[in-house]
Amino acid sequence: MQKLSLREKSILAGLFLSKFSERGLKYLGFDNFTEAFNVIGLALEVQPASVKNYRDEFDPVFPNKRQGWHKREMRQYCKDVYNSFKDLDIRNFSNLLKEIIYENHEIDVLMEQVAKKEDKESSFAKRLITGQAAEYYFKENYIKIDLFKDYLIEDTTKHGCGFDFKLCAQNKEFLGVEVKGLNSSSGNIALTNKEYSVAQLLRKRYFLFVVKNFKEIPFHDYFQNPLNSKLKFNRIETTITQISWNTIV
Q: What is the pLDDT along the chain (249 residues), one digit of tens a residue?
A: 558 899 999 999 999 999 999 999 999 999 999 999 999 999 999 999 999 999 999 999 998 888 887 788 899 999 999 999 999 999 999 999 999 998 877 777 777 777 676 666 567 888 888 889 999 999 999 999 999 989 999 999 989 999 999 999 999 999 999 999 999 999 999 999 999 999 999 999 999 999 999 999 999 999 999 999 999 999 988 776 777 787 888
Q: Is residue 236 part of a domain?
A: no
Residue type, 40: I
pLDDT score recorded for residue 120: 64
DSSP 222-249: EEESGGGSS----------PPP------
Q: Is residue 238 part of a domain?
A: no
What lies within 8 Å, CB to CB, of 230 at 6+ separation is: 223
Q: Is the domain of 154 the same as that of 39?
A: no
Q: Is the domain of 52 the same as that of 113?
A: yes
| Dihedral pair phi/psi, residue 160, rounded to 5° | 60, 40
Rounded to an integer, what distance in angstroms lies between the CA atom of residue 41 and that of residue 29? 15
pLDDT score recorded for residue 106: 72
* Eight-class DSSP state of 147: G
Q: Is residue 234 part of a domain?
A: no
DSSP 13-53: HHHHHHHHHHHHHHHHT-SSHHHHHHHHHHHHTS-HHHHHH
Q: Is the domain of 47 the same as that of 86?
A: yes
Q: Is residue 208 part of a domain?
A: yes
Q: Is the domain of 144 the same as that of 192?
A: yes
| Residue 152 CA: distances (Å) to CA of 44, 59, 128, 142 | 22, 42, 24, 10
Q: Is the domain of 157 the same as that of 119?
A: no
Give how far the C-alpha of residue 46 lies from the chain's centroid of Cα atoms, to the nearest Å: 13
Total domains, the chain: 2
Burial class (CB in 10 A: 0-12, 13-18, 19+), 60: middle
pLDDT score recorded for residue 124: 83
Q: Is the domain of 123 the same as that of 148?
A: no
Give the residue numbers spanning the domain of 27. 6-129
Q: Is the domain of 17 the same as that of 108?
A: yes
What lies within 8 Å, CB to CB, of 62 at 6+ separation is: 18, 19, 21
Q: Is the domain of 124 the same as that of 142?
A: no
- Strand-pair category, 206-212 with 175-181: parallel
Rounded to an integer, what distance in angstroms lies between the CA atom of residue 58 and that of residue 55? 5
3 state SS of 103: coil
Q: Is residue 170 part of a domain?
A: yes
* Eight-class DSSP state of 245: -
Give how far the C-alpha of residue 236 lies from the chain's centroid of Cα atoms, to the nearest Å: 25
